[in-house]
Chains A and B, each alone.
Chain A
Amino acid sequence: MTHVELPLTIFVVDDEPPARNRIKELLSDCSAQLPVEVIGEAGNGYDALTQLSEIHADIVLVDIRMPQMDGIELAQHLNKLPNPPRIIFTTAYDDYAIKAFELHAVDYLLKPIRLGRLFDALSHVRNAIPMRIQELLELTPEPRKNLSIHERGKIHLIPIQDVLYLRAELKYVTVRTTSHEYLIEESLTALEKEFITRFIRIHRNCLISKDAIEGFEKVVEDKDGESHWTAKLKGLDERLPISRRQQFIVKDFG
């Protein structure tokens, strides 16, 4: 029983043109044994996200060190696509990343890339399941520069410096910026850990941006006259309650 296999569709992301060229040459060398088709390439993460929202690739080859958005962050955003591509990272030299890749059995290729290694990686990753976002987060100590959601067939990026607060509600986390509100499917605890330098917890279910703090107000509850602190954030009318346990924040940031 024979069937004609569709070629693997491949997308290449690297900020250096000769490096992209090298990968494309190697892929065409591969095609004798393994049908592959390069369906696009990008020189940075933003361009890659835009293109990959429109076209589907089976495999994305991603350079780790790129300007503005590194390869690991790109992979995290691509993961939000309904049918996320498999990722193979490429790197010339990056001690930290390589240790993390080995630990999590992530596919990666060392530059200069060898034909044999590329071939093996392609054959292997084709059958692998996509990585989970949590696994991807553990690959780098650097926090993302953007949060992302999949919205109307596109990956929408929310720059982290625009986020005023993150609030957990049921299985989602609300991401609030001055003008919008988004829902993302991530855990508040993981977000707190990732963005520890930028956000502070004011309540069991809420993290606020330290930069956005405008002031604190004491609010008296109407019924039994008990009062509690709330935080006022820049550009928001809403007051966010601070839990009794976190009241030290009023002193530290007030």
Chain B
Amino acid sequence: MPKHQSINQNLQPDTLPNFRNIGVTLRTVLWINGMALFIAAATATSWLEVALRMADISALLQPVLLSSLLILYLLNPLFARLNYRQGIIVVILLTGLITLIIYLLGGDLYVQPGEYNNFLAGRNAILGSIIAGLLLVYFRMRAQALSPALQASRLQALQARIRPHFLFNTINAVLGIIRTNPKRAETALEDMSDLFRMAMSYSGELVSVQKEVALARQYLALELLRLGNRLKVNWHMENLPEDALLPPLILQPLLENAVYHGIEPLTDGGLIDIRLYCSGNELHLEMYNPREEQGVHHEGNKMALANIRERLNLQFDLEARYTVEAGKDFYRVHILLPYVNEVNHDSC
């Protein structure tokens, strides 16, 4: 890594994949079995033989694969303490070792009586290590392929998160009260500065749900200034662990959508209903807003949503889910994130 980094070279350091992520596990299983099938097919001469060879390979492969995944899952927190190079060496050696142990433990299962020799044991261990190495290369390339997207989505997110419409209208509203209610104008400017600080310092790190909620409330206070009693908000956070972490500025763009597309076009305004709760080991974010009955769908909605979806994918891969229900006169968004906290408990 170069010592001086300009903004343009803000590259992420390489890291090992998160072995506790379902996406990583699933990809590993698929790739390894894919390779096995390829080898089985390449060496066979009939369809039946493909199946037989696959069964043959699986006898050793599946136990090694599953125990490796299990051990990596258990050791995952320890990898965080190693640098990337050390991590790679540990993973590769570990896989080789696991292969060797299972091969030796399997005894007659893998070896015809009298056929045992050092070559086969050594070869299997080395092949195990090599495959582990190849997968690490794959995950590194995948991370690199995604990282420009991360950069781009960061910028795009920044623009989409705070709409110019909101910025200029809010400044105008603050100017509108500055003579009659200077105290409130002060608070509004402070809220705005917090909001923009968060938006501009986006680092990809998770923040506590409390902080995220506080920021969302500051945002809503600003909208309240403009919309007055047209905007009503209900928060439900009964079953929400305070230590839960989530990516910053997930709530605010959703609320901004709800205000811009839902509340603002209604003459009498409406109620935004927000539910945050933890269930099983997942964090649920639910948001409901009324909207004008309409045949035509707004495009702006989709952009902000696509943006959030991409950020969730980058952060959690397959573990975050997202549903949108666009009714005739309402809009409901439901996001599920894995429950994460500082100490890494897995359930709430």
Contact = CB atoms under 8 A, between A and B. Distances in A.
Interface of A: 15-22, 25, 44, 65, 67-68, 92-94, 110-113
B176 interface: yes
Contacts of B228: 16-17
Contacts of A21: 176-177, 180
Given A92-B168, A112-B171, A113-B172, A18 B226 contact: yes
Given A67-B264, A93-B164, A19 B172 contact: yes
Contacts of B226: 16, 18-19
Given A18-B226, A92-B165, A93-B165, A112 B175 contact: yes
A111 B169 contact: yes
Contacts, number: 65
Contacts of A110: 168
Contacts of A68: 265, 267
Given A17-B228, A67-B267, A68-B267, A93 B168 contact: yes
Contacts of B225: 18
Interface in B263-300: 264-267, 292
Contacts of B41: none
Contacts of A112: 168, 171-172, 175
Nearest to B227: A16
A19 B176 contact: yes
A99 to B, nearest CB: 15
B94 interface: no
**Chain B binding surface, main DSSP class:** helix
A93 B172 CA distance: 12
Interface string B3-47: 000000000000000000000000000000000000000000000
A92 B260 CA distance: 13
**Can you list the 4 inter-chain pairs with the closest CB atoms, starting with the nearest?**
A18-B176, A22-B176, A92-B168, A18-B173
Given A18-B176, A18-B225, A44 B267 contact: yes
A156 B7 CA distance: 59
Contacts of A16: 169, 172-173, 176, 226-228
Contacts of B174: 18
B142 interface: no
B168 A25 contact: no
Given A19-B172, A92-B168, A112-B172, A67 B179 contact: no
Nearest to A142: B296
Contacts of B264: 15, 65, 67
Instruction: Name which of B226, B267, B292 has the most chain A CB atoms within 10 A of its CB.
Output: B267
Given A19-B226, A93-B165, A93-B168, 5 more contacts: A16-B172, A16-B228, A19-B169, A19-B172, A25-B179
Contacts of B165: 65, 92-94
Interface in B87-102: none
B172 A22 contact: yes
A112 B167 CA distance: 10
Contact of B172 (A15, A18, A94): A18
Contacts of A17: 176, 228
B168 A18 contact: no
Interface string B200-243: 00000000000000000000000001111000000000000000
B184 to A, nearest CB: 10
Contact of B177 (A18, A65, A94): A18
Contacts of A111: 168-169, 171-172
Given A17-B228, A19-B169, A67 B265 contact: yes
A196 B49 CA distance: 65
A38 to B, nearest CB: 14
B265 A19 contact: no
Contacts of A20: 176
Contacts of A94: 165
A92 B179 contact: no
A20 B176 CA distance: 8
Contacts of B265: 67-68
